[in-house]
Structure 1
Amino acid sequence: MNTGLTQVWLQGPLIVGAGPSGLAVAACLSQRGVPFLILEKENCIASLWRLRSYDSLRLHLPKKHCQLPHMPFPKEYPVYPTKQQFISYLDSYAKHFSIHPMFGYKVKSADYNTVMGVWRVVANGSEYLCRWLVIATGENANPAVPGIDGLTSFGGKMMHSSDYKDGAEFRGRKVLVVGCGNSGMEISLNLCRNGARVSLVVRHKMHILPRDILGRSSFGIAVGLLKLFPLRLVDWFLILSSRLLLGDTRKVGIIRPQDGPLKHKNTTGKTPILDVGSLSKIESGQIKVVGEVQRFTSNGVEFMDGKVEEFDSVILATGYTSNVASWLKEEGLPRQGQSNNTISSWLSNMKGKNGIYSIGITGKGLVGASIDAEGAIEDIARQWNSNRKHTSSKINPYM
């Protein structure tokens, strides 16, 4: 196989991505004595959290549900750790398990060689050959920008939420937030608290739940109830609690889907909003709910209902897409340009064929990433131990 690239044979798995999912996999491998190599395109671990998240971000779920395998959060951390606390936890995690990713290595391509029975991963002029490939890049690799007419003609400040840090610079400005997921809601709240005049685009029906019910997290309560009751009853409880604690969201222009929040998540992949104060600002009129955008103008927006309004700034809280389809050359994988939902569906199972594993791409957040990591490593370690005597003797300088 003469490719003109420097070939590096790996005894163990190659992990692509040094976010929480990649770190979880590496720690589990380390605990099982299986060698590995991590390639990370950025110059740090957890780049999404460190470089592309707003300063006021906190974990949406309690820390006990978000900790990575084999290492809990520090006891002194609050129930919902801050962004910086989570980053510090990940730094400590990497140090504790002696995880040293190769930074600045962007994967150009990865394909399976059926003759040799190995994966060929090309990055930075080298070709890495391995039996197991772990995709841990997550679903949030590239900012998703909506194809709204006139997007480039808007003359004010426009940014994706990945570039938003704090609302102080928007004080006194009229800001439109496009996207009403958890990020859009929380950015709107942060803008409002910093004195901006905020409008929030709400296009679809959605569930808003209180983050906590009687001092306990809604998520934790739901997890406990699902062990005892069917999903439809747990959904009923969550909706009833939401109406009692938050009121009727229809009054502020937010309509709930017909399905309950858990069923809606399972069928559409759309996560319920966990309210941390945004709804009260909407009810008081400090955050204005508006409808779908038809097109941007040089100084504002024309909405689908025909209304025209001027804005100083626009923040696109429109989520992210996976970049896996741009470099994974595997038969049957949706090609770039197809929806991220299609890609996620293809990678929805933790284990694929030919020794490929996808971690943190199932839409289950940090909870799912940890479960997937432990499951994948159990499978890899079993194969590693059974075939250890037959492992290639070629030297890998990185192991």
Structure 2
Amino acid sequence: MDCVCKQRGKGSQDQHQHLISFWVSGPVIVGAGPSGLATAACLKQQSVPSIILEKEDCMASMWQYKTYGRLKLHLPKYFCELPLMEFPQTFPTYPTKEQFISYINAYAERFNIRPRFNRRVQSACYDSGLKRWRVRTEMVRERESILVEYICRWLVVATGENAEPMVPDLPGLSSFKGRVVHTSDYKTGSEMEGQKVLVIGSGNSGMEVCLDLCNHDAKPFMVVRNSVHVLPREMFGLSTFGVAMGLLKWLPLRMVDKFLLMASHVILGSTEKQGLKRPEMGPIELKNTTGKTPVLDVGALAKIKSGKIKIVPAVKSLTLNGAKFVNGQEEAFDSVILATGYKSNVPSWLKERELFGEEGLPRKSFPNGWKGEKGLYSVGFTRRGLLGVGSDARNVAQDIGAQWRNLGERPHHHKHFILYTKPG
């Protein structure tokens, strides 16, 4: 359709709002992280064009903006490759944050993927009359708010399980006079040299932050509220995860879990003596059932054994100068780091509850959570990290590709038209 626009008068002090609608021939993908890029690449292999909408100004924004400096892939690189492209052979077994970001950029370049940045999705709902999805985004430029709506047959949710930081409702959090920072804003322990730091959370992030603090001569106290599995990152010269994946091809899951725990005891010793009680369920079964990832130790356990990282129980409340713990103990701290994880943001914008539950995760467990009704899909919600992304992306692309060919669709420029202009 031709573009029809009502122009505002010169010198107007009112903020104007435009709504521009695009009729999209292929799928719309929400999220330009690894999940969205992998889906777009697999769709290209099926000769299906797509549009990626990204709220930030870059690809893989979580990796670029919300990760600490010492971060490396927890699994060997061959378990973290996106479909159709390997990591460079020159990369180490566990690539750094910077190396992974360079891989993402090279991946987008290879498949000529050009996300539309600064497009924060406000809402996505299914129009039963059009039998299409309406995906509405907002851009603000100077005094002008532009709503851009994409109308599409297929919608792929690729924002991932870890879209937004999860901040606990902790009594006294607002009254603590020291610095409080979530791991999404933590970069390095150099800013906390010599400080007593309370780290709330004992997962992989909490452990690595504590290790980083030790390396910068800070004094970390790590809150261990629940049981946790700590495994060596490698055993007998091989990746622990790789060993587990290999054994699962031949042995029952629970037998593999027993082997991992016995080998971990030989390599690491008893973690319970260090205040790290193991869950009753084995590490792989627990991951598959609840999504809780075991800690792959890269040196923090040795610091715990030496006393440089101190283990403390759950926090009852923060105080003006520190924290009270559930055992009645009280301690002063200079800073608090929230290693409390992330959550999905899907419930805030997707107006559909058939595929996703209230927590923003697929209702069906892996490998059946990638497809919903009415052309709705999800990628990157498998609780299996980058390894699960590839499986989802291939499934989604093959399914959409088959429909594309049956419909006889052909790529064309996306039609657009401005529906209205009004003062805000």
| 1:186–1:395 distance in 2 versus 1, CA, 3 Å | closer
The answer to whether residue 376 in structure 2 is matched with residue 356 in structure 1 is yes
User: Which of 322, 344, 353 is equivalent to 2:361?
Assistant: 344
CA drift of 1:345 comes to 4.1
| 1:330–1:388 distance in 2 versus 1, CA, 3 Å | same
User: Which of 143, 149, 160 is equivalent to 2:165?
Assistant: 143
Look up the equivalent residue of 2:128 and give its one-letter code: T
- Verify the 8 A CA contact 1:179 1:318 in the aligned structure 2: yes
Structure 1 runs of 4+ aligned residues shifted over 6 Å read 391-394
1:115 aligns to what? Answer: 129
Q: Going by fraction, where is helix more abundant, 1 or 2?
A: 1
Q: How does 1:319-338 map to 2 (within 5 A)?
A: 319-332=341-354
- Verify the 8 A CA contact 1:9 1:394 in the aligned structure 2: no
Deviations 1:190-212 (A, max 9, x none): 00111000100001011110000
1:298 aligns to what? Answer: 320
Task: Say which one has the larger Rg.
Answer: 2
The answer to whether residue 381 in structure 2 is matched with residue 367 in structure 1 is no
User: Which of 388, 391, 402 is equivalent to 1:382?
Assistant: 402
Corresponding residue SS for 2:174: helix
CA drift of 1:238 comes to 0.3
CA drift of 1:393 comes to 7.8
CA drift of 1:396 comes to 3.4
2:335 aligns to what? Answer: 313
- Verify the 8 A CA contact 2:201 2:340 in the aligned structure 1: yes
The answer to whether residue 234 in structure 2 is matched with residue 248 in structure 1 is no
CA drift of 1:5 comes to 2.8
Look up the equivalent residue of 2:376 and give its one-letter code: I
CA drift of 1:14 comes to 0.1
CA drift of 1:395 comes to 4.4
TM-score by structure 2 length?
0.89
What's the C-alpha RMSD, in Å, of the aligned pairs? 1.6
- Verify the 8 A CA contact 1:138 1:360 in the aligned structure 2: yes
Alpha-carbon separation, structure 2, partners of 1:346 and 1:54: 31
- Verify the 8 A CA contact 1:347 1:361 in the aligned structure 2: no
2:71 aligns to what? Answer: 57
Alpha-carbon separation, structure 2, partners of 1:230 and 1:297: 48
Q: How does 1:177-216 map to 2 (within 5 A)?
A: 177-216=199-238
Alpha-carbon separation, structure 1, partners of 2:20 and 2:124: 15
CA drift of 1:171 comes to 0.7
Deviations 1:275-329 (A, max 9, x none): 0000000010000000000000010000001110000000000011111101000
User: Which of 309, 315, 333 is equivalent to 1:287?
Assistant: 309
Alpha-carbon separation, structure 1, partners of 2:364 and 2:177: 39
CA drift of 1:346 comes to 2.7
Alpha-carbon separation, structure 1, partners of 2:414 and 2:262: 61
- Equivalenced residue count is 389
| 1:346–1:215 distance in 2 versus 1, CA, 3 Å | same
CA drift of 1:331 comes to 4.2
The answer to whether residue 94 in structure 2 is matched with residue 80 in structure 1 is yes
| 1:285–1:127 distance in 2 versus 1, CA, 3 Å | same
CA drift of 1:388 comes to 1.7
Deviations 1:352-394 (A, max 9, x none): 11111111112110000111001110101011111125x7988
CA drift of 1:269 comes to 1.4
Deviations 1:76-126 (A, max 9, x none): 100000000000000100111111001000000000112221101001212
Corresponding residue SS for 2:212: helix
The answer to whether residue 258 in structure 2 is matched with residue 258 in structure 1 is no
User: Which residues of structure 1 form unaligned runs of 5+?
Assistant: none
1:218 aligns to what? Answer: 240
Corresponding residue SS for 1:126: strand
| 1:139–1:347 distance in 2 versus 1, CA, 3 Å | farther
User: Which residues of structure 2 form unaligned runs of 5+?
Assistant: 1-16, 139-146, 417-424
Q: How does 1:39-54 map to 2 (within 5 A)?
A: 39-54=53-68
Look up the equivalent residue of 1:59 and give its one-letter code: L
- Verify the 8 A CA contact 1:177 1:199 in the aligned structure 2: yes
Look up the equivalent residue of 1:187 and give its one-letter code: V
By relative contact order (CA 8 Å, sep 6+), the higher-ranking structure is 2
Look up the equivalent residue of 1:62 and give its one-letter code: P
- Verify the 8 A CA contact 1:351 1:358 in the aligned structure 2: yes
- Verify the 8 A CA contact 2:27 2:155 in the aligned structure 1: yes
| 1:54–1:256 distance in 2 versus 1, CA, 3 Å | same
